Each structure stands twice: as C-alpha cells, then as structure tokens.
Amino acid sequence: MLDLSKLNHNQLKAVTADDGPILIIAGAGTGKTRVLTTRIAYLIEHEGYDPQRILAFTFTNKAASEMRNRINNMLINNYVPWIGTYHSICLKILKQDINALGREQNFNIIDEHDQLGIISDIYKEGEIYAKDIKPKKALEVIEKIKTAEIDITKINSIHQLKELGIYKWESFPTFKYIVAQYEKKLLRNNLVDFNDLLILTHKLLAEHVVVREKWQNKFDYILVDEFQDTNYMQFRLLNLLINPNKQNVFAVGDPDQTIYTWRGAYPNIFDDYLNNFKHTKTYVLDLNYRSTKKILKVANSLIAHNQQRIEKDLVTNNDFGDNVICYIGDTSQQESHYIVQQIAGMIKNKSYAYHEIAVLYRAKHLSRNIEQELINNNIPYYVFGDIRFYQRREIKDLISYLKVLVKPNDEIALKRIINVPTRGIGQKTVDAIHKYATANNLSFYEVLVKCANDEIDSEWNKKNIKTFMLLLERLTNEPKSGALVDTLQFIINATKYKDYLKELDQFEERWDNVTELIASLAEYQSKYPNNNMANFLDEISLYTDSNDAKLHARNSVSLMTIHFAKGTEFKVVFIIGMNEDIFPSSRTLQEDDLEEERRIAYVAITRSMHKLYLTCNLAFSPIAANKLTPSRFLKEIGKDKYHEEHSEMISISKADLQWYDSEKPFVVEEQYSDTNIKFKIGDVIVHTLFGSGVIVGINGDMLDVAFKAPWGVKSLIKNHKSIKRLKN
C-alpha cells in the first residue's frame, strides 16, 4: 500500500492532482525526486496506469537508476521500463523505427574520442593542416551546427561564422568540406553521434505521422525531471511524444537552478510550457528539508535580485543554525589557509567527517591553491570531474574488442585494437589500409579480410595482419558459456591484455579499472539475464555521468565546480573565489549572463546543510591587472545575513598597506611606525611587495625574513609600515 503520509501539503496536492498538464516549481531541497517518484507510484496504484505505458525523462543515468529503485521500494513487482535520459529513450525509439529514415537498425553510437578519430582521418584524406582548424575546434563547431540545426550552406557572413567560433572567412570552404565528410562517414559506417540520437528521433517523429502516432499511443503519461535543464530540441521531442488528446504531462523543475544555458537550457522554458499547455495546473514546492534558516536567508536574498524568475522564497522548519561566514583574506594563500584550518578544526573536534565537507568553485583553475594547502596539511581530498570511467584507455580498449565481436566491420573499434596489445601493425600501415579502402570503395574490415587472404598485393606486414585476423576469428568462434563476463575474460586472456598493461604506467590502477569493468558486466547480466552483449554496449554508450558511487564512499574532502555539484548536498560547504570578475565571471557581459551567474551562486549556496562559508581575497590579479574586490553578490546578500571575518593580522600601523604613492613627495619619517611590536623568530609576516614570509633572524631593528621564490631572504626594518604580522 502506497504511503502518502510523509508528504507535506503542497507535495500531496502535486502527487494526487488530476490528469492533464502539470507544472511543479520545486525549489532546492524541497523533495522534488520524492514527488516525482511518488507521482508515478500513485498513477500505478491509485489511477490504474500500466507501468509499461509510463515514460519518465531524467538528465543522468544515475538519476534514472535512483528513480527506478525508489519506485521499486514503494511498489513491489511494478517495474517501469521507460525511465531514462533523452538520449537513452531516443536510442530505444531509433532501434525500433530508424528504418523509416532509410537507415539500418544495427547502428553504433560514437563518443567524442571516436568523433575526433573520424575528423583525423578527414584531415589526412583532405591534406588539411591541424594548425588551420584544430580537430577539437572542428568537432565543437560541428556540434553547434547540429544542435542549433544550422544549414551551413546558407552561411554568408563572417559574423555568422564568428558565432560558431570560426574567425577567418578563408577557413570556411575547408570547414564545409570537413562537415560534409564527417556526415558522409557516419552515414557510410552506419554510425550516429550523441546529437544524432535527438536529431534523428525528432526527424522521425516530425516527418512520419504513423511512427509519431505509434509512440504517442504507446505512452499514457509522461514525466520530466530537472525540467529547467531541458533544451529546445528536447522540448520539441517532448511535444511530439505527448498524446495531444490527453496531454498527460508532469514536469518538475526550478527556474532558479537554470545553470546550463551554454548547453542549450533556457529559463523561458517554463513560459513555453505554460503557453503550449493552456490548462496547466501549477504547484510550488518551497519547504526546504536540507538547509538551516540562516543559509536559506542568504540564498533567498541573492536570487531575489534576478528579474526574470518565478518568485518564490524557500522556507524551512529546520533550526536557525550557525552563522554563515564570509571570510576576506589579503591573499589567495590566506584564503586557502583559512579554509584548511577550519576543516582541520572540524575534524579535530569530531564535529564533521572529511566526506561531509565540500569546497566549490566557479572555475577549475581556482582549486590549485586549496589543493596545495590540503596537501601541505595532509588532509585527504578528491577532485570530482576527472576522466570518466568509460573514457579511460584500458576500458575503451576492451570495449572496442567487444564492439568488434558484435559488429566486425566497426572501423573505429578495429583501428583502436589492431595494434593493442602491440603486434607490429603501426600507424603508417593503418593509414595505408584506410587509404586503400577509400580508393577502392571498401570498408576497413573488408581490406583486412582481403589482405589476410592474400588478395591484395602490397608491402604491408601481412603476417601480422593475418595474426590479428586469426585472433578475431578465434574470439568470434570460441564456444561461449552464455555469460557475458566469460566473453570479456576470454578476450583478456587471449590477447594477454594484463601483461600489456604491466608495460604501462599505473598498472595497478588500470587493472583495478579492468576488474571494475568485469564487475559491471556481471552486474548487468544479473540484472538483465536475457540481454546480450549488443544491449550492454548500447547501455554503456549512454553513460555520460562519471561512475562516482564508490568515490563518494571515500572519507575525503570533495572539491568540484559548482556545475558538477548540482544535485549534491554536504553538511559543510565552502564557496571560494567570491570575487568580482571571478564570481560573477569576467565573461558576464549582459544582464542575462549576470542572472545566470546569480543562479549558479544560488545552486552553490543551497548545497549546504549545516555550515556555509563564502570566501574571497584581495590579492593582485594578473588577469584583471588590479587588486581583487569582493563579489557584488556579497553586497546583494546583505551584511546582516552573514558574519564577516578577515585575515588574522595585526597591523604595525593603521596606515594603508598601499603606502607608496609616486605622485606624493617622499617623506622618510612618514614611512615608519612608532608601534613597538615584539617580533620573534618563527612569526609569519606579510609584506606589500614580497607577500608572506617567516622571520628567520632578528638583529636589533632589522628582521631577516624568508619569502617564497623568487624573493628569498630579505632584511627589513621591523617598524616599517609595509609589514603586517599574523596573530600567534
């Protein structure tokens, strides 16, 4: 029996609402996932909906898995198969009906690494120099064109090119060639990239009425999680899948957390939804279960400065909690030192564990100083957003072997494994085979077969090619037990892949990754005993989240960008770099950009449960070419919402540290202070020019101070106004 007693008033209204279009404005920490999953369970148990006919869109595979688990815990034996990302749902649709577009159903999906491989081949064939248009830039522009559905043949001005990231008109003909060849190669090899999954599905549903009606009749109810992250293409897909006669759609999101406009999301998506579905019932979830009252006051005060938003204030029944701290240091080192000392104190007092603490930043480069300080203090930490599991070298190698077993003519996979482990088939030979295949209108695989059968007269190392083809034949024909894991184990043993890894650096870490791949394959087969290797490859090709489940179990401080932190929560959060031109970013040129920066800050603030620190420093910035200033966001929040702390220093005088002014006459007597500070060896001081240093010697009125490179040891008059001393 479904238990609704734990829902608050607004949650209950949303979960039990009548059919028809519904929009849930769900603030941070207000239980949106609970509402969405409970709504699905309610539809099944109380409204009689068939779980096979419910479709739910999520934005990560992890979220989809969590949603399934929650529903399974609420309703026994009610599996909802159609829960997934837009890409995974589109894959399922295309696997059934792509033939309506004249394409074969056994297509493969390629990732960024494979895309760059294709572009590299195009450069070689067209004799294009990478310095003219870098391959990564070419791929970036291709993705912009495809996402925005731009017809490249209609571009006729340099301004249009600059919007794509191309700044020379003379580069345009070359780029048109790259785009044309890229699409031709995808079509010829029956490949699709991630953008194609959405584009082809939209084309399929928009142009083929019978197919569209089939899918509209397939689903009685559609739900969308994280609606604020929906881009225009996804919204159009959603509209094509919704049955127009029923309009049973349930969207949950928070316009104040729209932080992915660079990926196509836009705040006006909520207005579009209300305009599309005229009789929408709207519910607001504003009771926050995560943060203290003082943290929410900071969040509400900041986001209220945005004009383009649906007004709401988060409230909570939680305690007022500790004061929000705003720390302002003189240098970035002081800022990092302060944070690490706070963390060390929490651990020493056993008030929090390392894994309950996060340091968030607007841009990756801001982590450098905090990392150094954590290392210096032997505090364990983990930087999230590293290379994703399925993008790691050893994993891609073995996945490529599996792909070739499923589809022998997969050119990209073949090229990856043809010399892995090393078997004497170098890049020159691969390039020659590719060139021969292109000239003779053959696939890469067909040329390998002909070479192995002595049907091609060439100078290639046929012996090694024959050995490789015999290996593939052995892998393909070896009797299998039916267990997918056995197939992978056989590949590892037959290729002596473990021995190959031993020749590389970081063997133990790489082998741990291989072991994890074996475990993931075993887990997949246990979950889906009737699925085959092709199904497994389809699923993992969609893994766009990093596999961080085990990493969260580490007892370490979490370091991550705010974008990466979205969807997480920590008991203690430090938001560093709260400086103008850093946060908000110096790239903030228009009011819309500033509003997004404010939303990013709002997301960061609302990750915190118990304690929140906002930190900045006033050091000289080589980027801004002047001293840093505190972020305008701190002023917008209001000083009455936080407790301000400064660097723990005693000034030798009350004079401004910027004591030297070249426009004023130099008066020697004014450069010294009468204050008699009793220095001792080991004291830490800060100098206006040399930065922080340690006193290593005292000779009368002179201090010998060791500064960081390049300054070294300097002798200073101890009562000079250029010096401040840290408190003991």
The answer to whether 231 and 258 are in contact (CB under 8 A) is no
Q: Name the token pair of 163.
A: 């919007």
Instruction: Specify the pairing of strand 684-687 against strand 723-726.
Output: antiparallel
Instruction: Specify the pairing of strand 723-726 against strand 713-717.
Output: unpaired
Residue entry with tokens 């608050």: 8
Bridge-partner residues for 56, per DSSP?
83, 223
Q: Phi/psi class of residue 38: alpha, beta or left (left: φ > 0; alpha: ψ in -120 to 50)?
A: alpha
DSSP, collapsed to helix, strand or coil, labels residue 680 as coil
Cα–Cα distance between 497 and 482 in angstroms, integer? 22
Cα–Cα distance between 532 and 469 in angstroms, integer? 24
**Count of other CB atoms within 10 angstroms of residue 212:** 16
Cα–Cα distance between 599 and 267 in angstroms, integer? 11
Cα–Cα distance between 70 and 38 in angstroms, integer? 8
Q: Which of 333, 327, 297 is nearest to 315 (CA)?
A: 297
**Count of other CB atoms within 10 angstroms of residue 3:** 9
Residue entry with tokens 């870490």: 509
Residue entry with tokens 């989809």: 64
The per-residue b/e assignment along 359-382, b for 16 or more CB within 10 angstroms, e otherwise, is bbbbeeebbebbeebbeeeebebb
Question: Is cis: bond before 408, omega within 30 of 0?
Answer: no
Cα–Cα distance between 589 and 603 in angstroms, integer? 21
Radius of gyration over alpha carbons of the chain, in Å? 30
Residue entry with tokens 């906002």: 614
Q: Name the token pair of 35.
A: 């509402």
For the chain, the first-to-last Cα distance in angstroms comes to: 63
Cα–Cα distance between 299 and 605 in angstroms, integer? 6
Residue 351 half-sphere exposure, CB side, CA atoms within 13 Å?
A: 11
* Exposed/middle/buried for residue 147 (C-beta within 10 Å: 0-12, 13-18, 19+): middle
Active site residues: 32-33, 225-226, 257, 607
The per-residue b/e assignment along 320-350, b for 16 or more CB within 10 angstroms, e otherwise, is ebeebbbbbbbbbbbbbbbbbebbeebeeee
DSSP, collapsed to helix, strand or coil, labels residue 440 as coil
Residue 420 DSSP one-character state: S
Instruction: Specify the pairing of strand 691-699 against strand 684-687.
Output: antiparallel
- Residue 127 sits at φ, ψ, to 5 deg, of 50, 50
Cα–Cα distance between 664 and 395 in angstroms, integer? 66
DSSP, collapsed to helix, strand or coil, labels residue 285 as strand
